[in-house]
Homo-oligomer: A and B are copies of this chain.
Amino acid sequence: MIHFECDYEEGCAPEILEALTQTNLEQTVGYGLDPYSQEAKQRIADLCGLTDRQAGETQREALWREKETAGAVHLLVGGTQTNTVVINYLLRPHQGVIAADTGHVNVHETGAIEHTGHKVLALPTADGKLTAGQVQDAILGHLYDPNIEHTIQPGMVYLSYPTETGLLYTKGELEGISAICRQYRVPLYVDGARIGYGLMSPQADLTLRDIAELTDLFYIGGTKQGALFGEALVICNPLYRKDFRYFIKQGGGMLAKGRLLGLQFLTLFKDDLYWQLARHAVTQALRIREALVAKGYPLYMDSYTNQQFTVLSNEQLERLQERFLLSVIERTDADHTAVRICTSWATKAENVSLLIEAL
């Protein structure tokens, strides 16, 4: 069987295993305070523009900035954990998180957000993307509620980039949401479990630095993009850095051998391995997209990222399932099923060819 049902079914970029093997018997301090983690965090902060020298900066200001960015990047083990820790950090007990109804935090984390005491304020979407208008309406709707204190206060906004449906926010769309969030002082957090597969899409008009500028926090996913595991959280807004490590520890996310995360992210980001791996997955996904279009399959979602969505007849589905694992989304009618076809950094071009032939 050839797997196309998700993007975390292989191990990791071989360079990572090499790095782990080479450093295996070195002794380092634990909990992410080792040199590899420090270097990886610094590298990511640099890439996000957090450490840019400001025009006209004095030496004293530069020192302050450097010290300040020390707490800007954290390396955590997994996505549910990262989302839970961040949301629990940002919200006060009477606040909830605005999210698309399809958002991962709303549907696929076994209520981890509610488990920390917070309501997910899920807004309906056709395609998994929130709009600035929706966010503003949710915030104002609360402010104008005559029973304001009887309802949950929107305390942050959660987006996924790309969305769980494979789609991308344009720069204009993200700017719009960001502006609303800043106007009402509601932090904006982006779940970047597949951020590389978004930024490397030919449709993306956003850069990593744009995201760092427009959001308060976001994470760069490792698990689905070439690491064994791990997510790099970037806290762009210095307001949200204080005491953050307590939350990682409390949330069970502080790896004793933190260097495992440091070494992985260092390997992915010291050159542009992360982006190469992402580009590969997108290229293979777009081959599948082209084949779907060419062969007249409907596009269930109009995605230019590593997740492709189509609708198959029962007969087509059964036939494909003999050789390929796909992810079933929903029955669209008695005879048809929407499916997701996923590529990853490790997808073999020849397997894509086999799938295309079989379509």
Q: With a CB–CB cut-off of 8 A, which chain B residues contact A224?
A: 256
A315 to chain B: closest CB distance in Å? Answer: 21
Q: A94: CB under 8 A from chain B?
A: yes
Q: A60: CB under 8 A from chain B?
A: no
Interchain CB contact under 8 A, B114 and A254: no
Closest B residue by C-beta to A243: B94
Chain A residues packing against B (C-beta within 8 Å)? 1-3, 6, 8-12, 14, 17, 20-21, 23-31, 77-81, 84-85, 88-89, 92-94, 96, 107-112, 114-120, 146-147, 149-153, 223-224, 228-229, 243, 245-257, 260, 328, 346
Closest B residue by C-beta to A117: B115
Q: With a CB–CB cut-off of 8 A, which chain B residues contact A223?
A: 256-257
Interchain CB contact under 8 A, B109 and A150: yes
| A149 and B110 in contact, given A80-B254, A257-B229 (Cβ under 8 angstroms) | yes
Closest B residue by C-beta to A17: B21
Q: With a CB–CB cut-off of 8 A, which chain B residues contact A107?
A: 151
Query: Copy number of this protein in the oligomer?
Result: 4
Q: With a CB–CB cut-off of 8 A, which chain B residues contact A79?
A: 256
9 closest Cβ contacts across the A-B interface? A81-B252, A94-B246, A11-B24, A110-B250, A3-B27, A114-B119, A149-B245, A8-B256, A111-B152
A156 to B31, CA, bound (A): 27
| A112 and B11 in contact, given A93-B88, A94-B243, A246-B149 (Cβ under 8 angstroms) | no
The 20 listed contacts between A and B (C-beta, < 8 Å) are A9-B257, A10-B27, A11-B20, A20-B228, A31-B149, A78-B255, A78-B256, A94-B243, A94-B247, A108-B150, A108-B151, A111-B118, A111-B119, A111-B152, A114-B114, A115-B116, A119-B120, A149-B245, A149-B246, A228-B257
A250 to B251, CA, bound (A): 11
Interchain CB contact under 8 A, B146 and A78: no
Of listed A24, A28, A93, A260, residue having the most chain B CB within 10 A: A93
A282 to chain B: closest CB distance in Å? Answer: 19
A221 to chain B: closest CB distance in Å? Answer: 10
Q: With a CB–CB cut-off of 8 A, which chain B residues contact A23?
A: 11
A353 to chain B: closest CB distance in Å? Answer: 17
A110 CB contact (under 8 Å) in B8, B11, B28, B152: B152
Closest B residue by C-beta to A94: B246
Of listed A11, A110, A114, residue having the most chain B CB within 10 A: A110
A92 CB contact (under 8 Å) in B1, B94, B243, B251: B243
A25 to chain B: closest CB distance in Å? Answer: 5
A79 to B23, CA, bound (A): 24
A268 to chain B: closest CB distance in Å? Answer: 15
| A21 and B24 in contact, given A93-B115, A252-B252 (Cβ under 8 angstroms) | no
Interchain CB contact under 8 A, B17 and A153: no
Closest B residue by C-beta to A13: B24
